Amino acid sequence: MTEGINPKKRTTIYVDPNIHKQFKEICEREDVSASQKIEQFEFDYVNAHCHGNPQTLLQTHFNPPNLICFRCKGKFRQLISVEYVSGYLAKLCSECLEKDRKRGIVKKAKLK
C-alpha cells in the first residue's frame, strides 16, 4: 500500500460547471488548492467505502432499488429532493440528507 505524499497523477473528470466554479472560489478563499480538496475527499471516501457500501449489499432480487443517491451513489427505492444553500438541487437518500443537514448545507428537502 502507498503511504505519505505520492507523485500526483493528472486526470480528467466531468463535473457540473456551476458547482465547480463555486468550489474553486471557496478553495481560493480558504487558501487551499482544488486538487488538495479533491484528494482529501477521495482519501476519506476510499477509507469509508473500501469494504463495500452496506446499502448495495442489502439489495433484494424483487423490485430492486434503481434510484441513485447523488452523494453515496447507492441505489434506493425512494430519494429525497434537496435544495442546498448554494442553490444546487440533488436527490439524496435519507442517510446522506441527514449528514448534509448536520453540515448545515441543506436549505430545503422534500420527499418525492
Of 5-13, 39-47, 66-74, 78-86, the window that binds Zn ion (rule: CB under 5 A) is 66-74
Of 7-15, 38-46, 89-97, 104-112, the window that binds Zn ion (rule: CB under 5 A) is 89-97
Residue 82 sits in the site that holds Zn ion (CB under 5 A): no
User: In this structure, what C-alpha cell is assigned to residue 64?
Assistant: 430492486
Of 2-10, 37-45, 67-75, 81-89, the window that binds Zn ion (rule: CB under 5 A) is 67-75
Helical spans, DSSP H, in 1-112: 17-29, 34-49, 54-57, 94-103
Residue 72 sits in the site that holds Zn ion (CB under 5 A): yes
Do the Cβ atoms of 22 and 86 come closer than 8 Å? Answer: yes
When binding is defined by CB under 5 A, the residue of 71, 81, 83, 84 that contacts Zn ion is 71
- Judged by DSSP in three states, 69 sits in coil
Distance of CA 49 to the CA centre of its chain: 12
DSSP state, residue 97: H
Binding site for Zn ion (CB under 5 A): 69, 71-72, 93, 96
